[in-house]
Structure 1
Amino acid sequence: MSQTMGRAARFLPTLAIYSLVIIVALGLAVWRYSNTAEGGRTSDRAQSEARNVAGARAGGANTKPFFSLSTGRTYASDDRARLWVDYRNVNELDFRVYRVNDPVEFFKGLDDPHRMGEDERRAVAAARRQKPSLLERLRAFKSWFNTSVKTYVRGQLRRESRRAFNAKFRADDETGDRLPLNVADYARVPLLNPDQLVSSWRQRLAPLEDEYDRRMVSLGKREPGVYLVEAIGANDLRAYTVAVVTDLTMISKTTRDGEVMIYAVNRKTGAPRAGVNVEVVKGRRALASGATDRSGILKAGIDKKANTGDRANTPPAESGEEADDAEASPDSYLIMARERDNFAISDLDSFYFGGGEGDSDNSLIGYIYTDRPVYRPAQKIYFKGVLRRRGDEGYEMIGARSVNVSVEDPNGGKIFERVLPLSPRGTFSGEVETAAEAPLGNYRVIAQISEQTASSYFEVEEYKKPEYKVQVTATQKFVPTGAEAKFSVEARYFFGAPVADAEVKYYVYRSRHYHAWLYGGGEDDADGFGTNESTEEDDEWGSYGYATSEMVREGEGTLDERGRMSVTFQVPEAGENDSWDYSYRLEAQVTDASRRTMQGSASFTGTRGQYVAYAAPERYVYTKGDTAKIAVKAGDYEGRAVTTKVTLRFVEQHYEKVKRKTEDGYEYDDYERRERELEKSAEVMTDAAGMASYDYYVPVSGYIYVNAVVAGEGG
């Protein structure tokens, strides 16, 4: 016994020394780990910058982590469901996918079915405890300890280079980006019941190209149902989205009186689905429900009056946050259809039902009219109005006994303001007289009750009968290019005397001329060249192209004692690339001694020859190697058919992309037209009817322009 005690006494100092060494080693390891953890965070930031250069560039100086989830559609059971992740300065996310057991109740609990946020998370998980249990905290501690040891060892073995290599060359590998996720990795309670968790993983995120880029994350093929996807990042940041996998789809139609029709079909085959349970919800209240018939149709009625005041009647437990969320609105309707695990949802704004709680604003509607639309100064205006309010049942009576009516002139000044009695049927009437020097223009009649108004307009104009007439004529209908054309301007009073010594301002405009007879018209469709267009009000646009005309000359003059003036105009020569004729129109403005101005105009056509030819294919789309039938038509400028030789030239046209710069140096893409005349041309002779045809072999693919030229005469 004494020997045993002696041996123990000898080993105790050794054991104490070894224990002290172990404690010191562990303390040193903890101290080194705390330092390397700080340095590791610096190293991780450096790696994050290396892996997220584009993301840091997009985020600028703001390096705060950010991420969001979204889905843009529903998926069939044979599709691969997916979601989109938008993120900045995030290297990895933990994903959890939950299966929602009761989709109807789930969506009823959301203020906005298109958005999942912190408020929705609290609403969905309200029934779940938020504090981790002792077992979960113990597992979290064990996980933290294991992670600390592994991080320390990896830091000692310099694994950063291997991780950087994997991140760079294996980032596109979907399986390589995912790691198994232990629920105890975080001391957090799952959003839904853990039994509803169907999959979880840790997703590595590659750097994005720019601030507009995002990444697709595949959820794989799933059984029909509604899935809630939760993503968790650093600092307990979270984001949510909903993925719907279903073979059911529906179409809804509504009427303004609250009727709704739902048609449910199989999204793959289009076959109607009978027995589909449908529920129409507004806010958190069911308004209608039922099942589709054998045709897949359900018809239901929505009692909009019974639904008024949903928000006011919402229990406090459900609406306690509404004061803080101004955007949350219960005015939209949710239509939800369910057939076993297949689920479909659609939302409709209340205006689809012709109004509702948010649309019944009792706005004032009025019909105000005068005894005629236009008046002269110093005339009396008689007006009358009918007022209604817009309500749930359509137009409703006002209920007021008077209305404030005012009349404003074009300058905003009030020429009339009075309180007029309102009849039981909501009508009122009155009269106002304009002054002799009243401003001309639009006047406004305004009826106002409280802060709501209704209005209408009438005009005050001063008409004076013209005292003289201006007539402009062209001496020729057709003038060759390069020749001299003459216009004659004449002004006479209606009692016959000339408007002598009046001032004249004239303008010459050029526009493209279209030969009406070439496009199937006759002589009756030709332009009225050489006529006085001021006497033919309907001819303002008769020569086509006047809307895009350009001014080529302007001048001034004075009428002689006979009230006449002559204008000489040199017709410009035809350009080398001109393939059409131009019309020239002279507009003359004559001002007499009383400073009254009247105007007139006339036009002619500048011709490039004696004949005109036109060519068009039988159709406009051919394949390379086809034979295109080209129809040719020729005639003179009066529209008479001629027999002449016509040369057909075929030009290939295409557009090339070029870079251009604005004055401030901004570079943008533009396109320039390039032309290449094909080697083969053809000559045809028109018959007595001015017609000919030609069969053309299409040698190339692209756009081919056919140019018809009358030999020796222009075309």
Structure 2
Amino acid sequence: MPRISFSGRWIIMLAVIWCLAVLGLAMAQETPVGTVEGRVTSSDTGRPIAQANVWLSPEKEDGVSKNAQTDENGGFLFSGIPAGSYTIHSSGRVHNMPPLKITVREGKLEKLNLSLKAAQPFLNLYIPQRTFLSQEKPKIVLDGFTMSEEAVITLHKVNKDKLFSGEAKFIYKILREPWSTFTRQQLLNSPALEAPTYKKVKITKRDCEGAYQQQIALDPQEAGIYLVTASVGQLEGMGWIEVSNIGLVTKENGRDLMAYVAKLDSGEPVAGAAVKILSGQKFTSPGLTNGEGIYKGRSTPLVPGEPENRLIFACQGDSIAFVTSYTTELGDGKPALYVYTDRPIYRPGQLVYFKGIVRHLSGDTYRLPQQGEARIQVQDRRGTPGYSGRFPLTRFGSFHGQFALPEYASTGEYSLACSFAGHTQTVSFAVAEYRKPEFAVTVEMPKKRCVQGEMVKAKIQAAYYFGAPVVGAEVRYQVFCADYWFWPGEEEPEWGYGDYGSNGAVVLEGKLRTNTAGAAEIPFPAQAKQAAEKNNGVTDRKFTVSVVATEPGGREATAEGSIIATQGEFKICLEPEQSMVAPGEPARFKVTAIDYESRPRSGVKLTVEASQVRWREGEESYVKVERAMVLTDADGRAGFKFKPSEPGSYRLQAAGRDEKGNQIKAFTWIWVTGRDEFSGYRYPELEVILDKKVYAPGEVAKVLINSKEKDRTALLTVEGRQLFAFRSVKLTGKSTLIEIPVPSEYRPNFYLSVGYVKDKRFISQTAEAKVS
């Protein structure tokens, strides 16, 4: 028994010694830390500065910087800061301080009082909206830091007659370039300005630093163009506003000009408005708008050596509206240029490769140029020439070349101008310094596609460029989900839609760390959170994993990886032959089953249902009117048709299952015409629907215009390689059906645009169709 007790005591003692050793080792390895606390104040007033930024930067290259924002009392706190030497810096909106060196000691609290010096006084004038009706109060914003408590606003009205007589040259520059400035001397010397009016304003919206952003409402003004100056002491801000009751919309194709003038409040067309064009410094007055508010005529050619943008004006009484035109002439026999570089961004010293293509437009086709040479000129953002050369065209009407950027090339945006037969096209590229990252991170998906609902494991790998894994890197990740649309037979068979470039909505996010191999794994279900079918949103999904990896030294690297989550092993495509039919007319649909390698699926049983859409208190419901079973043929195709008896909107659904039992659905819609308003339908501001996607030359296109605005006059234009047709359309109801002929001149495609003016906005929608 004593033997057992003796042994037990030794075991206990050894355990205690081992624990103390481990604790000592841990304490030895633990990073010593301290705390930095302080307050930020203004040196001139002594008052605390809230929401000031404070940066704490280590002197060691492998250290991690910290930043914070002060509270309402100007206080800030950095805790858990590794001991060592640091630089601290702070700035507010108008206060700043030079960097200050400090030492953080282990277990100590460093208390600081950072006194920030005020910046030099400044004043900016912002005009968020430039156009005002004559009954409106123009609004401007003063942004400044001044000692004075009063501002003086001066309005200089531009004399209309002198504006159009060529006596307002510096004003033309201001109107052409909205952010250009002018001087008080120009105001005093211009014969085009009428006697100024003044308004004094108290400055009351100062923040804790004494700076301000204050909106000022001016008195309603007579119609005209006004130069605005805001003065506080010796400081001035300048801009311009337009007071007008008319708006102007223009369409050009280089040779022809169409101008549409309408009232800014009601949108009614304005007849008899005078159209004037300023090209260079010279005005022409080509004509007046007709009873539809439309003027059609020849456009004024550009003046060599003058600004490349014209100003097009419309006038009715004292109201003036204008737009800036950057059009270039393109017509029969005129060359079309296309030039591009191999990359959008380069480093100094690198080679820039470029290629150009030249074509002549003849009728509705392009032809190769017979001969000629293209001239290339490269300039940096300051206009300094960087390269020039001449290149003869190949027999294919193209050219290519290269040039080297100097090692000392300045950074910024460069322009590459290509000239041929008196016509020029300019593209841009950037030159930037580059520092190679020390490590990279990748996101690898297990496969290209999966079925919705599967568990996906995204593999993360972080490695230094010399080959070693990045161990213990923090990986912050987000998983995005977006709709994905598969269009077989198109130029891009796997083109996906994700909110125009967005990855979609975030469905999962978190943090993790890489293991000893520099790897990590992010599991997630490939399933959208929302019940999409209720809103007819059954579709494939694109899941994107975006990661930011931070290695122990504080450096970051980013990466993304995507996987497509499909409904099943194949896709159903449901397409109407016509988007609109009349009651009693047969509505025909093409049904296709195709896999994601664009191979047809034959012998697939599909159920197709047609339902009339009903709206009640803003909610959609569906009344089934037709149902049929179809079987796909050897090409994966089938057909379905039904005859709708009532006007309105109809939803079509095709559904089937793959070999694994996954349910696959597709939806489409058609309109059945016959009413000028469908009760309960949530009409948008504007919707344009063509009855077909492809027309044969000589056919008539049916166009349905839906709008929640009744009794509006809209402008309809048909455009392609030129402005084919235009006219006004009266929207007497919320649904308006019109017809337009489709001649062969519209080949290969055309765009039909409809727009109307409401509350100083031009609301427009465009539909596209092919002609074949």
TM-score normalised by the chain length of structure 2: 0.31
Higher helix share: 1
Instruction: Normalising by structure 1, report the TM-score.
Output: 0.34
Higher relative contact order (CA 8 A, sep 6+): 1
Q: Which has the higher strand share?
A: 2
